[in-house]
Amino acid sequence: MRYTIVGTDSPQKQIAMRSRGSWIRAFLPATLAAALWACAGPASSLVLVQQGKPSCTIIVPAEKNSIIQSAAEDLRDHLRKISGAEVPVVSNGREIKGVRIYVGVAPSGLKLPVDLTDRQLFWPDGYLIMTNGERLCLLSPRPEGVSNAVYGLLEDFLGCHWFTPGEIGMVTPRRSVVEVKIPGGYRVVRPSFEMRSPWYNGNAGARQTPEEATQMNLWRLRNRAGGMQGYAGQDWVSIFPKDLQEREPGLQAMINGKRAPHGSEAQICMSYPRAVEIAAGYFIGLFANHPTLDYYTFSANDNDSWCQCPDCVALGANPAERMMVFTNKVAAAVALKCPGKGITTLPYSSTIEPPVRDLKGESNLYPVLCSYSMEQVKPKTQENDWCNTYRRRVERWMELLPRAWSYDYIGWYPGPWTLFHKLEAEQEYYRKHRFTGMMPEYLDRNLGTDVHAWLSFRIAWDKNLRVGDLLSLFYPAYFGAAANDMRALYEKFEKQMLATGGTGEVMDVPRLYPIPLIEEALTRIASAKRKVATDATICARLERDENCLKLTRLWLDFWTSSASFRRSGTPEHKQRAAQSGLSYLQLLDSLDGTLTVGKAARGYVASSLEALNDPGTLFSKAGSFQYMDGLDDGGKSFQAKSRSGFSIGTYGLGLAPGATGEVVYDLRAGEGLKFKEARLVSMYFTLPLNGHNLVDLSVDEGRTWITVCRDTPMAGGTAEYELTKPIAGTRQFLLRFSIQNSEKEILGMDNWGIAGVVE
């Protein structure tokens, strides 16, 4: 899982930006920055365009800044879209007549109603909009705040909206007179969250053209995403690179009794005496060189390969506690040398379970709490085992942490994501527990995900906004005469998803989006298109949603046929699965470059098509080999030599109370080859409560068996077990998994794999 840098320029440009203090001096004369000017009374009104003719000029700082310049030019473009007027953008306002719109620069002699350096008023990227005579001023301590002021003016006062990325998602009013009324003469606007960063990940953005990427970034900018400046990735590898570990072997994590230099595939030894010094030095240098950064990442690499040395184990009762002890030391060292700067930490995977001790986080920590391995569809405020566990963890963490940003997963499924009201319930919960930011990761792009992100932008900026009110604005503005049809369609999907629930796995898709519901939705869109046939823009919006639903329908065809093949292994089902999978990919490819849909499901379909011709457990080429099976809907278990007792279920091989399940695989090396080494990998093989499990193998075709492991819990899909000693030098061996269940139904096998070398 990767995170995104928050800001309006590229990461390189952000890091190169000037210090915050210098920008304040660029925008305002120092003697005016703290001046106060109280303004009360009726709304102050300025006419910017009169009968389609410009009666204003946009003025920007003489000292160029790409963020401010881009925002000013976008303001000019929007005024043209609204009225047809061509408003000039200049950097010298001495000879300009009419209303002067000052963007990021204050006119000489202006007195401000508030202190622009007041952190409580503007942190981190808030702004001031004010009128004074024939002047409209858009000001902020930061360039990002000035940009937000431009889009706040356009949205809150001029009625512009950017519901989805690209021109297709833009809604601008049309009028020949453009007038701005500021109640009381000014407004100070501060975001209610210091971090507002919904983002589409690499799966959602795969195969995206540069033009599409630009449109996505501009959409975020216009919706005032952003907040604090920094980076929050999983990136110990940059602080403790492999070459450094080679120079300082004590920094290397001890795994299975051995230390070895690691890059991103393992953590480091947190108890190494110089580890804190190295990390603190990294941040001290970083913040000295890039003073505009508010924080930077200190989140561990994306794996659970923690150092197992006695000193690291002694740091705490669980991985989270050990990580927090180490992180706190680094944070304290950074605070001494870099006041006002922070570092992130990420409770995730094995560190999501909170510390046992009352270990208070340092005040300059910016933790990102991840909704890892849980219910992803129903609201986290509901009463069920997944959500109850999540809330227990959150509330315990918030007893220890100074703040937190939420990290939720959105839209894993190749289908609609219209869970709009869930968003409001969860944001209210987070605010109640002192969260100060949100950075959800959108894993796919589909019907509803853009709208969900737009709602996220809006309520993260203003906590008083209600989702219901925003949707009442969205539907008629975006769909016109088709608004009622599309509201009903979106709400029906929302109702179905909330009633079903799911944990983010693709096998939930047939339950979330039953075929009759998809077909009903396609019929409704066809009817809606007829109502707006003369409006090309609204038709394009409907066609985008229609294409998403067509893809979901094809995906369901593929799932059904490939599941039948997984259960039966028959050629007929194989051919049907291949045809439906290719149809899905062909439609998906035809939509490239249209900002229509993400690509998260592409990899699943493509790999599943390859698996249709999987040679099974015959490894015919010398070198490394690997065989993996998720066992969803039976997976590739039809390739096993035998299977008994287990039932095939949506998530894998199930086992009834009191039953015994057994599955045997026949693993063979190709002609003239032998196994050199092998190990079990990615194991999820249940040990039932009051029951038993067993993994054994045979090198003599089942006449005798060697126990690999007995009564061993293998949950989580990460366990590994060595098989090399008994199988080295053999051409064939049998591998048997068996479970003796006890009193309740279980998921016996959910995932298994084997990897090694043949020669």
Average pLDDT, the chain: 90
**CATH code at position 754:** 2.60.120.260
Same-domain status, 184 and 247: no
Supply the DSSP symbol for 372.
-
Which of 171, 190, 209 delimits the end of a domain? 190
735 and 678 belong to one structural domain: yes
Same domain, 726 and 644: yes
Q: Are residues 158 and 75 in the same domain?
A: yes
**Which H or E run includes 488?**
helix 483-500
Which stretch of DSSP H or E encloses residue 456? helix 449-461
Nearest-angstrom CA–CA distance, 382 and 429? 11
Report the distance separating Cα 264 and Cα 279, nearest Å. Answer: 16
Residues 240, 173 share a domain: no
Number of domains the chain is built from: 3
pLDDT of residue 165: 95
Q: Is residue 24 part of a domain?
A: yes
pLDDT digit string (tens) for 424-440?
A: 999 999 999 999 999 99
Q: Are 281 and 334 in contact (CB under 8 A)?
A: no
In a shared domain, residues 45 and 149: yes
Among 188, 44, 60, which residue's Cα sits nearest to residue 116? Answer: 188
Same domain, 185 and 242: no
Boundary-marking domain end, from 159, 190, 221? 190
Cα-flanking dihedrals φ and ψ of residue 718, to 5°? Answer: -125, -5
In a domain, 126, yes or no: yes
pLDDT at 567: 77
Q: Look up tokens 């002021």; give the residue.
A: 149
| Whether residue 154 sits in one domain with residue 16 | yes
3-state secondary structure 207-229: CCCHHHHHHHHHHHHHCCCEECC
What CATH number should be reported for the domain holding residue 186?
3.30.379.10
d(CA 282, CA 286): 6
Q: What integer pLDDT is reported at residue 593 of this predicted model?
A: 80
169's CB contacts (< 8 A; 6+ apart) are 162, 163, 219, 450, 478, 541
Residue 159 lies in a domain: yes
Q: Is residue 5 part of a domain?
A: no
Q: What local confidence, expressed as pLDDT, does residue 636 receive?
A: 86
Q: Does residue 180 contact residue 43 with C-beta atoms inside 8 Å?
A: no
CA distance 461 to 463: 7
- Please report, for the chain, how many H helices and E strands are present, in that order: 23, 35
What is the rounded CA–CA span in Å between residue 579 and residue 586? 11
Domain contains 520: no
Same domain, 147 and 243: no
Q: Are residues 110 and 244 in the same domain?
A: no
**Is there a domain that residue 100 lies in?**
yes
Q: Final residue of a domain: which of 131, 156, 190?
A: 190
In a domain, 461, yes or no: no
pLDDT at 340: 95
Same-domain status, 260 and 156: no
Q: For the CA atoms of the chain, what is the radius of gyration?
A: 29
Question: What was the pLDDT predicted at 598?
Answer: 66
Same domain membership, residue 168 and residue 19: yes
Q: Is it true that the peptide bond before 198 is cis, omega within 30 degrees of 0?
A: no
- The partner residues of 101 in beta bridges, in order of sequence, read 58, 136
In the predicted model, residues of the chain with pLDDT beneath 50 are: 1-41
Cross-strand partners of 663: 643, 737
For residue range 694-703, list pLDDT tens digits in order: 999 999 999 9
Residue 679: count of CB within 10 angstroms of its CB: 14
Any domain includes 173: yes
**pTM value?**
0.86
The Cβ-side half-sphere exposure at 547, using a 13 Å CA radius, reads: 21
Contacts of 555 (CB under 8 A, 6+ apart): 414, 415, 509, 584, 601, 605
Domain range holding 33?
A: 11-190
Instruction: Express each pLDDT in 662-693 by its tens digit.
Output: 999 999 999 999 999 999 998 889 999 999 99
The confidence score (pLDDT) of residue 156 equals: 97
The DSSP code for 133 is T
| 596, 168 contact by CB (below 8 A) | no
Decide if 558 contacts 633 (C-beta within 8 A). Answer: no
pLDDT of residue 17: 31
What pLDDT was estimated at residue 295?
Answer: 98
